[in-house]
Every structure is written in structure tokens, then in C-alpha cells.
Amino acid sequence: MNSEIPFIRPSFPAPEELAHEFQDIVDANWYTNFGPKESAFARALADYLGPNLHAATFANGTLALIAALRTAVGPGDRRRHVLMPSFTFIAVAQAALWAGYRPWFIDIDASTWQPSLEAARAALENSRDDIAAIQLANVFGVGNPDIADWEGLAAEWEVPLIIDSAAGFGSMYSGDERVGGRGSCEIFSFHATKPFAIGEGGSLVSRDYDVIEKAHDFVNFGFAKSRECVQLGLNGKLQEVNAAIGLRQLVGFDERLASRRNAFDQYRTELEGVGLRFQPNAETSSLCFASACCSTPDQKSSVMNSLCTSAVQARDYYNPPQHSHPYFLENIDLTRSSDLSVTSDVCSRIISLPVHDHMRVDDVGRVISAVRDGAA
């Protein structure tokens, strides 16, 4: 019996690589509250992502999303909605609610699985006053190929555009432009399961330094420079230890990404012929995992069974989509939904395959064989 291939296999710095980082922290005797490791990490993140960007750090990506909404949109208004795809991780709707807004779920585009621009435009045309912001998700961390059109729509309707790029640290929009510099701001998660992982952590990145400063104050109890609380804040600070892990994780990150893209290329080459379709632009993304749409729901169940029999851990993200989770079904008045038929169709056919840093050739081969067996 083969040993199980895990869906996610985090790679972390070895203890000896971190020993001197930890020594620095103990020497400084500074463990949180924006110490030297945190400042260096925030600077390094912004520099990695592109010119003229600024970054704030957070205890996790969900807090970065809440901070994005509070600082780039407003203090919350339960009558107003935030447009977002249902086809993304549940934290997106939760963040909107914690920030004081209501989620409005829109459909995705059938070819990119990214939020549908037409659906957002229709919502704005019919109900502009009900909409406080657009919370665009770069679905699966893949840079949206139509990002310039989204910025155009947001500018036309004067509505803030917040981009959730949680799993997409290292992904590209196109050419040499990394995900991170678009919209009012973008957020990332550095959770242990993401390609760029520090345990728990997150970041908010913007061209606008004002947004960064406000977000920074928000996760420090709403304190202004005077050390007086001037807004409703909370504690969402990143610890020095996690920032130090992040600084180490940046070393060699591009090489690890290249190895992930290599595994993805093999999946795509070997599996398109048996009816699987992969996401456009995924080949330049950081590939938390590899998503593919089967040709029918039956093919999907057969592929999932075959993967299970071959001891390959697989998933079918984002199924259920946000609006189908029991909490939202039971509290239907908290949300609003446009037509979601493409979302339902994609959920019935989607599969997510494991991608690891430097994934073993044998493991890639075993995933491919199992999918091919099931797809036939």
C-alpha cells in the first residue's frame, strides 16, 4: 500500500535556520507590538510585491480583510452590501459581516471561475445606493485576468474595490506584475496551508500609505499616535516570531513557486485530454492546489473515488459555496444573492488536486494516473 499523498504539505524553515532569528528576538526582548522583525517583514513584503507599495501585517488574513473594509470602505452600515462571489472561502462573507456590512453574493464567469463582471455591473446599475464596496476575490489565489476592467467598473461607479488575494502571494496578474498592487488594497493570508506560510499571519498591501496607517491603527486597538483610541479597533497584531519565519520564507520562495508551477504544468498536459479543464492564468499563480473542472458531475465523483482509492488526498473547493453553508441558509436575511447558476454548475464538477513545494515526481505521476483512471 502506498503512503497517502497529503493535499497540502507545508514547508517551513528548519529549526537551525530559525535559531538565530529567535536569538535576535530574545536579545531585543521584544515579542510583539511592531518590533524590528515585524517592520523588516512588512518592508520586505512590499518590496517583493512591486514598486511604490506599502504593507501592514496582521495576526491572520481574515483580520486583514476586516481591516481593509473598515479603512478603505467605512465604519459599517447594516443596510448596505458588499458584492462578492459565493465561490470563495467562507472568511470573505464573515469579514464583511464583522466589518458591519451584508454580503451580496454574485455569480462567477464560466470560463475563469472569477467573479462575473456582468453580474457586478447589473447589481450596481439596479441598486447602486445599496452597495458599499466590491470585495473581489482572486479565486484560488489566481490573478484575475480582467483586473483592469474591475478597476474601471469601480471607478465608474465610485465604489471601493477590495481584493482578497489570500492564497495568491507570489501570483502574477500578467507579464511581470505580481498580485498585490490593485484596487484600494489587496490582502494576503500566510496561514500554514497557503503557499507562503508562516503559521498564522496576514497582510494588507496598498499603493495608498494612508490606508496602511489606518489599518495598522485598527489592529492596535484603534490607537492613534497619541496612544488614544480614536476608532473602534481590536488586537490583530503579528508576533515577532511569525514575522521572523516570514523573513526566512521569502528566501528561495521563487524557486519553490517554480517547482509548484512545474507540477501544475504536468497535471494540465496529462489531464486536459481526458476532459479536465484548468483555470486560465493558474500557470502563473502560486498554486495553493490545482483546481480543475470535470466534464460532468458523474466524472467528478468517479475521479474523486479513484483518488481516494489511490490514497491521494483531494478536495473540491469551494464546495459548498458561501451561500450554501448552513449558517447563511438559516440566516437568509443577512445576505442577498444574484443568480448563482454558474457557481452551482462549477461546484458540481470541480476538483482540487494536491500541489507541494518540490513535489516528488512519483507523487505527481500517482495523482495523474488516479485521475486518468477515474476520468475514463
**Contact footprint for ligand PLP (CB under 6 A):** 60-62, 88-89, 91-92, 137, 164, 166-167, 189, 191, 202
Cβ proximity to ligand PLP: between 62 and 299 the closer is 62
Minimum CB separation from ligand PLP for residue 369, in Å?
Answer: 29
Distance CA(341)–CA(345), nearest Å, equals 6
Minimum CB separation from ligand PLP for residue 205, in Å?
Answer: 14
Minimum CB separation from ligand PLP for residue 133, in Å?
Answer: 15
Minimum CB separation from ligand PLP for residue 361, in Å?
Answer: 28
Exposed/middle/buried for residue 81 (C-beta within 10 Å: 0-12, 13-18, 19+): buried
Cβ proximity to ligand PLP: between 191 and 260 the closer is 191
Cβ proximity to ligand PLP: between 2 and 193 the closer is 193
Cβ proximity to ligand PLP: between 184 and 189 the closer is 189
Residue nearest ligand PLP, CB atom distance: 61
Distance CA(7)–CA(291), nearest Å, equals 12
Ordered DSSP codes for 88-123:
S-THHHHHHHHTT-EEEEE-B-TTT-SBPHHHHHHH
State the residue for C-alpha cell 467598473. Answer: 153
Minimum CB separation from ligand PLP for residue 179, in Å?
Answer: 12
State the residue for C-alpha cell 481526458. Answer: 274
Write b or e for each residue in 83-106: b if 16 or more Cβ atoms lie within 10 A of its Cβ, otherwise e: bbbbbbbebbbbbbbbbbbbbbbb
Cβ proximity to ligand PLP: between 135 and 306 the closer is 135
Neighbours of 218 (CB within 10 A): 24
What are 56's strand-pairing partners? Answer: 204
Minimum CB separation from ligand PLP for residue 312, in Å?
Answer: 22
Neighbours of 189 (CB within 10 A): 31
Neighbours of 317 (CB within 10 A): 19
Minimum CB separation from ligand PLP for residue 296, in Å?
Answer: 27
Cβ proximity to ligand PLP: between 187 and 303 the closer is 187
Cβ proximity to ligand PLP: between 46 and 187 the closer is 187
Sign of CA dihedral 299, 302, 306, 312: positive
